[in-house]
Amino acid sequence: MVKLSVVVPFFNVQTYAPDALDSLRANARDDFEFLLVDDCSTDGTAGILRRAARELPGAVLLRHERNGGLATARNTGIDAARGEYLAFLDGDDWLAPGHLSQLLFRIEELGCDFIRTDHVRCTGRARTLHRVPVGRRGEVLRPRDAILPADRSTSVDYPYAWAGMYHRRLAERGLLRFTDGLRTAEDRPWIWRLHREAESFAAVGSLGIFYRRGVSSSLTQIGDIRQLDFIRAFDQILEETAEDPDSDRLLPKAVRTYCAIIAHHLGSMERFERPVARTLRSMSAAALRRMPQDILKEALDTMDADRASLLRRLRRRPVPVEATA
């Protein structure tokens, strides 16, 4: 029986794919499988993965005929997974030797639906530790209790799918699937759904995930229209959270986070192509008008003055009809 399935999407990462694959080799076990999803790469990534499929123990190569984006690639891996547990890795990141076995030991020891863990962010030669924003470590908790408070960083603000491990029963309930076609912020609706609907989780301090930042091909570095998918992602969060029995408690957190993300993007307009920047302003103004206005007012009243002023001005901005769709 396969104990653990690791879903690893790749797209045009020929420079970094060998590091990811070497780290999987250093984590391999007879009961692990590695689902390598080639999202229709056009560089040398495909050849690297074909070689890995022959040489890496437990490797299964899956290839898209058309590029579908990270969310769709992860779904392809989830659909093919046979393991009792699932984990994720991105094709330009890497793991410490034995890290997956350590996480597997912890989730089985705790007996919960999923665990979340810290990671190391790597930007060039710089290394910084980023911790799960959950104060109680190694203790089984109720996931929806970790969504709040609204005015502080919480577990839903740490959305990285690769920073944890997940029991198969979550996949069977559809809680591990990503929204197909989301090209950025795909993990935001995912982490909210997981925390609203799963029954148990824990935060553990196993340091073994290395998250590479500053990759030129990463969408975090590209200022094109794909970046604006964050609006679709947060609209989904608001829509689904509004249907939750605790919507009156949870929506203020969702609205406040949405506002913070809009302000973040508006504060870095120089990285966007000029037409995209104009579209960002229009779509963000429309998004602010779609939010529950009483909750939005409260969120703006409790934000810092600069961001609140920026968002209030934006909300008053005339919105073209096409931006309201």
The 10s digit of each residue's pLDDT in 73-129 is 999 999 999 999 999 999 999 999 999 999 999 999 999 999 999 999 999 999 999
Contact between 14 and 95 under an 8 Å Cβ cutoff? The reply is no
H runs (alpha helix) in the chain: 17-25, 45-55, 70-80, 99-110, 168-172, 187-197, 229-242, 247-266, 274-290, 293-302, 305-315
The 10s digit of each residue's pLDDT in 149-169 is 999 999 999 999 999 999 999
Residue 119 CA: distances (Å) to CA of 99, 116, 174, 178, 262: 11, 10, 26, 21, 25
What does the pLDDT average to over 221-238? Answer: 87
CATH of 4-211, one of 3.30.1200.10, 3.90.550.10, 3.30.1450.10, 3.30.70.141: 3.90.550.10
Give the per-residue pLDDT at 317. Answer: 75
- Say whether pLDDT at 321 is over 90: no
Q: Which contacts qualify for 17-23: CB closer than 8 Å, 24 or more apart?
A: 17/45, 17/48, 17/49, 17/91, 17/92, 18/48, 19/92, 19/94, 20/89, 20/90, 20/91, 20/92, 20/93, 20/94, 21/48, 21/52, 21/56, 22/94, 23/89, 23/94, 23/95, 23/96, 23/97
Domain ranges of the chain: 4-211, 223-324
| H or E, element range at 36 | strand 32-38
DSSP labels, 127-175? EEEE--S-SSBSS-B-GGGGS--TTS--GGG---TTSEEEEHHHHHTTT
Task: Provide the pairing of β-strand 4-10 with 114-117.
Answer: unpaired
- Say whether pLDDT at 221 is over 50: no
Burial of 25: CB neighbours in 10 Å, binned 0-12, 13-18, 19+: middle
Quote the tokens at residue 315.
């909300």
Question: 141-155, 189-203, 215-229 — which is least confidently predicted?
Answer: 215-229
For helices 187-197 and 229-242, the axis angle rounded to 10 degrees is: 20
What does the pLDDT average to over 283-309? Answer: 96
Q: How far apart are the first and last CA of the chain?
A: 47
CA dihedral 131, 212, 175, 69 (to 10 degrees): 160
Select from 41, 43, 47 the least CA-distant residue to 64: 41
Give the per-residue pLDDT at 323. Answer: 54
Give the per-residue pLDDT at 175. Answer: 98
Query: Which position has the token pair 């009792």?
Result: 84
The 10s digit of each residue's pLDDT in 230-282 is 999 999 999 999 999 999 999 999 999 999 999 999 998 888 888 999 999 99
| CA 257, 258, 259, 260 torsion-angle sign | positive
The 10s digit of each residue's pLDDT in 41-69 is 999 999 999 999 999 999 999 999 999 99
For helices 274-290 and 247-266, the axis angle rounded to 10 degrees is: 160
Q: Helix, strand, or coil here: 89?
A: coil
